Amino acid sequence: MMTHMPDMDTETTHTEPAVDEEASLFSTMDLLLFSVIVGFVVYWFMSRKKPEPIPEFKKLDTPTPTTRETSFIEKMKKTGKNIIVFYGSQTGTAEEFANRLSKDAQRYGMKGMVADPEEYSMGELSRLSEIKNSLAIFCMATYGEGDPTDNAQDFYDWLQENDDEDLSGLNYTVFGLGNKTYEHYNAMGKYVDKKLEELGATRIFDLGMGDDDGNLEEDFVSWREQFWPAVCEHFGVEASGDESSIRQYELKEHTDINMNKVYTGEIGRLKSFEVQKPPFDSKNPFLAPVTVNRKLNKAGDRHLMHLELDITGSKIRYESGDHVAVFPTNDSALVNKLGQILGVDLDVVISLNNLDEESNKKHPFPCPTTYRTALTHYLDISHPPRTNVLYELAQYASDPKDQENMRKMASSSPEGKALYQSWVLDASRNILAILEDMPSLRPPVDHLCELLPRLQARYYSIASSSKVHPNSIHICAVVVEYKTKTGRTNKGVATNWLKNKLVTDNGHKSTVPMYIRKSQFRLPFKSTNPVIMVGPGTGIAPFMGFIQERGWLKQQGKEVGETVLFFGCRHKNEDYIYQEELEGAEKNGVLTQLNVAFSRDQDHKVYVQHLLTKNKEHVWKLIHTDNAHIYICGDARNMAKDVQTAFYEIAEEVGGMTRTQAVDYVKKLMTKGRYSQDVWS
């Protein structure tokens, strides 16, 4: 999100002069003198031959603030580029793919640039034909319920509003990033592909669709391998055969630098964690002190936790159902091991500077900084690396067999794909594990830092209501920790970092860099509408906020409709989280019905969908007669689908519909905003 910062001089307050009674005491002489002076000043200004030269301060190093170029056409012309790759990215993957495609262009004698649609005027797409052999590639991720990502929202709006746009000179292709477990699979990629064609643009190659529930990397590599030959054929060009690694950034080591100029983990502005200035967003997070961090489950081998973040004085506003984004840091033990295995001093201050001086992206992460800060705050070192990272690093393996395997894993051959799947993905090998298991591979740390993706913010459904907790945001999460096939223990970055955020750490308050992401997951506008909430495990998070809000509405004397919850956990005596709060809400009538499925407390498994079916008559009455709103939160892969099927069955069994009618009925509820999902896979 771009935040407009006003110019300094516009902040000066201009007050109208008050009418002064003493003004009448001006003598005629005063007025005469005043008129003469004013007349002289006007004459002097009018009669000057040339303006006084403005002194130049050339020695000052401070760069003058330049107005950002919003014309990608002018930029492409100026820099001799003919391929532009736009990305709509929420977690960084689409941006990463866009970078890879732009880099590829070089191998085909073309020049590519990567562009964030939020930074440019997309109305210029019709002018791309002014550039010979030009092509626009769109890497578009779908977010939430078929929505565009934040940075592609304006582009999406522009496409919707400009039906009469003529894009007949535009060559394009689209690669969509989605997840099949979601209802609106790859909706954004499909929409952009279809809409550009409708506006007259020429599709150079078929829409590619990546499925993050399967193997997104493999989908992308397979599509890309077929895409470039199609481009070559269309433009009549040939691959240069140059498969060598192309560096995008050059390393500069700072031996004598003022440490006040060095980034220490800030996301945007230097020193923004020391001097906090609203508004707070993804480029300027707020450091919220942790006021509560408690374990929720009574027993069992998992760690479910409840945290409260203090937002007093931040001017941050949120609604029940919104998400809080937090910026975690990597485990220092992992960072230190990487430093040891590569034999580097992690505290050297460096900058990685873009070799393309015209690029908007000057550095891959905030620079200057140290390797330690980059590997702790800015780079993702815990996920299995993508194939392009293996391909680029292969040259540094001294054992030819290792080199061959790394290049094979990056190819689209069935053997290579299978090796990448088993050796990297199935074995959950992160970059450290790869270096440990491949002793001949010792890449330069700066090239590794150039290739690793950025560490992303993590989103959590807020577990509180701002009506009850205006200065506090609650998080409910489960700590991720598992054994891999290689016998290593992998830990979830954000949940383990949050777990260790003690309220006071050596006398200091623990803080969490955060901002709010608005969502469509909202309580009904009319408080009299009943609500049906389905959320097993940590999927209960937003419903804690909903329950608090419905309770607050009752206290205000408002009439509140039925509030029904279907919650599920493994064992009543282990992980029945928020038991006291939920039973208390039921006791005082805020929750009109509390249904809890304890999946493992009996021989046969009992889940939330079974309790829905058990209450089918009442559930159907609430939906069909009383206009209830349905909310589902939690696992997308199984739970959300099973719950949706349960609603189909209720519509069939109680509503007397066929399966086709039932599916259509639920679809209509979704369209009307009466069936909302906040799910993850």
482 is in an annotated binding site: yes
606 is in an annotated binding site: yes
The pLDDT value given to residue 238: 83
**Domain 72-235 sits in which CATH superfamily?**
Flavodoxin domain (3.40.50.360)
The pLDDT value given to residue 239: 77
pLDDT tier at 628, thresholds 50, 70, 90: very high
Res. 51: pLDDT tops 60: no
The pLDDT value given to residue 10: 30
CA 160 from chain centre, in angstroms, equals 23
The pLDDT value given to residue 242: 63
The pLDDT value given to residue 145: 83
Q: Annotated catalytic residue: which of 446, 633, 635, 676?
A: 633
Active-site residue, 678 included: yes
> 508 burial class (0-12, 13-18, 19+ CB within 10 angstroms)?
exposed
Amino acid sitting at position 478: V
Nearest to 402 by CA among 435, 427, 371, 377: 435
pLDDT tier at 237, thresholds 50, 70, 90: confident
d(CA 68, CA 557): 52
Res. 676: pLDDT tops 50: yes
Q: Annotated catalytic residue: which of 104, 116, 281, 678?
A: 678
State how beta strands 286-295 and 511-517 pair. Answer: antiparallel
> Considering the domain 531-679 in this protein, what is its CATH number?
3.40.50.80
Q: What is the pLDDT of residues 515-550, one digit of tens each?
A: 999 999 999 999 999 999 999 999 999 999 999 999
Which region among 43-57, 173-187, 207-221 has the lowest average model confidence (pLDDT)? Answer: 43-57
578 is in an annotated binding site: no
d(CA 166, CA 418): 44
249 is in an annotated binding site: no
Res. 397: pLDDT tops 60: yes
Percent above pLDDT 70 for the chain: 89
Segment (H or E) for 572: helix 572-575
484 is in an annotated binding site: no
- Which ranges in the chain are annotated with CATH 1.20.990.10? 329-456
181 is in an annotated binding site: yes
492 is in an annotated binding site: yes
Q: What is the pLDDT of residues 543-602, one digit of tens each?
A: 999 999 999 999 999 999 999 999 999 999 999 999 999 999 999 999 999 999 999 999
The pLDDT value given to residue 17: 32
108 is in an annotated binding site: no
Averaged confidence pLDDT in the chain: 90
Amino acid sitting at position 344: V
d(CA 152, CA 170): 19
664 is in an annotated binding site: no
> Which tokens is 212 given?
């993050």
Q: What is the pLDDT of residues 74-119, one digit of tens each?
A: 999 999 999 999 999 999 999 999 999 999 998 888 999 999 999 9
94 is in an annotated binding site: yes
Q: Annotated catalytic residue: which of 351, 461, 510, 519?
A: 461
DSSP secondary structure, 578-638, as one string? THHHHHHHHHTTSSSEEEEEETTSSSS---HHHHHHHTHHHHHIIIIIT--EEEEEEETTT
d(CA 679, CA 681): 7
87 is in an annotated binding site: no
pLDDT tier at 317, thresholds 50, 70, 90: very high
d(CA 628, CA 669): 10
- Which ranges in the chain are annotated with CATH 3.40.50.360? 72-235
> Considering the domain 329-456 in this protein, what is its CATH number?
1.20.990.10
38 is in an annotated binding site: no
32 against 221, higher pLDDT: 221
Q: What is the pLDDT of residues 443-490, one digit of tens each?
A: 999 999 999 999 999 999 999 999 999 999 999 999 999 999 999 999
Q: Annotated catalytic residue: which of 158, 552, 620, 680?
A: 680
Nearest to 90 by CA among 140, 154, 136, 160: 140
609 is in an annotated binding site: yes
pLDDT tier at 244, thresholds 50, 70, 90: low
The partner residues of 370 in beta bridges, in order of sequence, read 349
- Which ranges in the chain are annotated with CATH 2.40.30.10? 276-328+457-519
CA 135 from chain centre, in angstroms, equals 27
Span 368-384, average pLDDT: 98
> Which tokens is 225 given?
């391998």
pLDDT tier at 506, thresholds 50, 70, 90: confident
> Which tokens is 57 given?
């301060």
192 is in an annotated binding site: no
**Domain 276-328+457-519 sits in which CATH superfamily?**
Translation factors (2.40.30.10)
Contact (CB, 8 A) for 170 and 126: yes
pLDDT tier at 57, thresholds 50, 70, 90: very low
- Which ranges in the chain are annotated with CATH 3.40.50.80? 531-679
Residues in the chain: 681
State how beta strands 458-461 and 323-326 pair. Answer: antiparallel
The pLDDT value given to residue 39: 53
7 against 356, higher pLDDT: 356
675 is in an annotated binding site: no
43 is in an annotated binding site: no
Which region among 33-42, 184-193, 671-680 has the lowest average model confidence (pLDDT)? Answer: 33-42
Percent above pLDDT 90 for the chain: 83
The pLDDT value given to residue 258: 95
Active-site residue, 633 included: yes
Q: What is the pLDDT of residues 637-653, one digit of tens each?
A: 899 999 999 999 999 99
Residue pointed to by tokens 């220490």: 264
pTM of the model: 0.87
604 is in an annotated binding site: no
Span 201-211, average pLDDT: 97
Res. 316: pLDDT tops 80: yes
The pLDDT value given to residue 163: 93
352 against 24, higher pLDDT: 352
Res. 12: pLDDT tops 60: no
Span 216-244, average pLDDT: 88
Res. 272: pLDDT tops 50: yes
User: In 3-state terms, what secondary structure has residue 327?
Assistant: coil
363 is in an annotated binding site: no
The pLDDT value given to residue 2: 37
The pLDDT value given to residue 8: 31
537 is in an annotated binding site: no
Q: Is the peptide bond before 278 cis (omega within 30 degrees of 0)?
A: no
Between the alpha carbon of residue 406 and those of residues 289, 392, 411, the distances in Å are: 44, 9, 9
Res. 214: pLDDT tops 60: yes
The partner residues of 71 in beta bridges, in order of sequence, read none
Sign of the Cα pseudo-torsion (248, 84, 268, 681, in order): negative
Res. 42: pLDDT tops 80: no
